[in-house]
Every structure is written in C-alpha cells, then in structure tokens.
Structure 1
Amino acid sequence: MTYRVCFVCTGNICRSPMAESLFRARIEEAGLDDRVEVDSAGTGGWHEGDGADPRTVAVLEENGYGSDHVARQFQSSWFSRLDLVIALDSGHLKALRRLAPTPEDAAKVRLLRSYDPAADGDLDVPDPYYGGMDGFEECLEMVEAASLGLLAAVREKVEGRAA
C-alpha cells in the first residue's frame, strides 16, 4: 500500500514544489520510492497550471534536485487518499485544517519544520516570493533541515504498515 505525502504552500510555485522535489530525492535515496508518493499543491489557485518560480528551479538545480512541476490547488477531497499533509507555515496549517472533512483528516496536517529538531519557536518557512535569491536559498536550507526528521517519521509509518 502506498503512503502519500502532499506539501502545501500558498500558490504552489515556491516552497511546496521545493519541498516536494527535495523530499522525493530523500525517498529515492532511502529506497522507499516504490512505497511513498510525494506531491504538492497550493491553498489558492492563482498559479494553477504554471511551472515553479524560476528562482525555485534555479535553487533546486544548483543543489542537484529535479524541478519538473505544474502548480495546482489543494482540494478537500484529497484528504481521503492522503496519509500526511505538510503545511509550510501556520497560515497553511489553519487553512488546511479548516478544509479537512473530518477530525481524522485534520490530524493529518502537520507543519514541515515540526520535523526539524533544531527549529525553535517559529516553525514557519517564510515565503520567498517577494524577495531575492537569498530567501529561496534560506527556504531550501529549512526544507533540508526538516527532511531527515520527516523521512524518519514516514519510514516508521511505511515499515509499520509492512509488518
């Protein structure tokens, strides 16, 4: 049975495609790509059908990650097929939990940086859209820092299902 993870930010062109690409690489490195599906979406549909922001693509490619992406909007009906919904900031967390059809679905929503043991206080990944390249690089650093903890949590769920 496939374990499904979806990363969600505002427009699905900066943070969530970055997290999706990076985490897909982590899943492949861990040999879990046959059991884990990684996806992303936005809370809004402003950029639906667009590719990732060129700055996101540049930062991903500079760091050896893939960047094939088409933006789309998260739908509440997706909760039934998802195991984990990863919000990139507290605004997304609240919006996604409001969209959740059931309390069980709302419990599937977690903040990405909650998986980073070094993150203290503010667990938001700041939106780099209105800034320069340094914001995109900082975003990637935060996603990378949380990815190992998230991978450990997903591995535990996947291997627990197989037992």
Structure 2
Amino acid sequence: MAAEGMRSVLFVCLGNICRSPIAEAVFRKLVTEQNISDKWITDSGAYSDWNVGLSPDARAINCLRDHGINTSHKARQITNEDFLTFDYILCMDESNLRDLNRKGNQVKNYKAKIELLGSYDPQKQLIIEDPYYGNDSDFESVYEQCVRCHKAFLEKSR
C-alpha cells in the first residue's frame, strides 16, 4: 500500500515492451523534474504474458536514451493485486481498456481508475498506437504523446 499522501499509477499495454515502459520511464522523468517523485509510485505491465521478464524493445530503449532517460524495467503481467493497490491504471488503446475492465470486474472492490492514457492528450489523440511493427519515428511518436499526456495528467491530478 502507498504511504499517506502518495499516489500510484500503472501504465499498461499488450506486451509491456514498447508503449508502457516508455510511458513509465517518461513519467518517472517528469515527476523527478517536478520534484514530486516522492509522491508517486510508478510501474508498467502487460495484459498478456508473452514477454514476462524481458527488457523493453531495443527501439524503445534507444528512443528513451535519445531523450536522456534510462530504464531497467523488465516486462511483467498485471495481477489482480494491481487493481487493488494502484490509484490509476492508464492504458494505450481500446483493446487494453476492454481487457482491463473485464479483468477488473473479477476483482472485488478494486480501487483503480482505469482509463486511456490518451484521454489526457491535449491534441486529442486518444489512442497511443503500438509501434512494434513500425520504425524509430513510431517510437518517437509514442514518446511525444506520453510527454503530452503525462503533463496534462499531472496537472489534473494536483
């Protein structure tokens, strides 16, 4: 459980090797820059179990590194406990949202607010597209969208 005054956010995508680890790393950087990292617990996870234990996609790591961000994240699958312990579960697309709502409905009295991360995008790009089958510029787009969404999310959650 989070300490008094702390909040928690879990970023979720299908495999936890592209979008959600980028979202997690960008969020950590932003809260550090704003001197509020002691107020947030941040993690990311996958709906699927395909990549459990793996590092993020090399293109995700390179994208983050290009922006001065390092990550040591290892992919993990979300658990029922996540719905009880996280304040927010922010996901990347409608498929994630549908799957998370279905899984959440199996957890009694869960507290997590399940939303699309893109719902915070000031440019109104609701979906954060999966860059896995794309190229470096697709990973850069994920990064940029995460920055926009996180800034708006942090502003709204003050």
Using the size of structure 1 for normalisation, the TM-score is: 0.88
> 2:140 maps to which residue?
137
Aligned-pair CA distance for 1:53: 0.4
Q: Which amino acid aligns with 2:154?
A: L
Structure with the larger helix share: 1
Once the two structures are superposed, residues 78-115 of structure 1 have per-residue CA deviations (whole angstroms, 9 ceiling, x without a partner) of 1111100001111111111111125764x610111111
Percent identical residues:
35
Are 1:72 and 2:73 matched, yes or no? no
Aligned CA RMSD, in angstroms, stands at 1.4
Q: Which amino acid aligns with 2:140?
A: E
Unaligned runs of 5+ in 2: none
| Structure 1 segment 2-151 matched on structure 2, within 5 A | 2-100=6-104, 101-102=107-108, 105=111, 108-119=113-124, 123-151=126-154
Residues in 1 aligned to 2:94 and 2:109: alpha-carbon distance in whole angstroms: 18
Using the size of structure 2 for normalisation, the TM-score is: 0.91
Given that residues 84 and 110 in structure 2 are in contact (C-alpha distance below 8 angstroms), is that contact kept between their aligned partners in structure 1? no
Unaligned runs of 5+ in 1: 157-163
Once the two structures are superposed, residues 105-133 of structure 1 have per-residue CA deviations (whole angstroms, 9 ceiling, x without a partner) of 4x61011111112215xx11010001111
SS at match of 1:34: helix
Q: Number of aligned pairs?
A: 152
Q: Which amino acid aligns with 2:121?
A: D
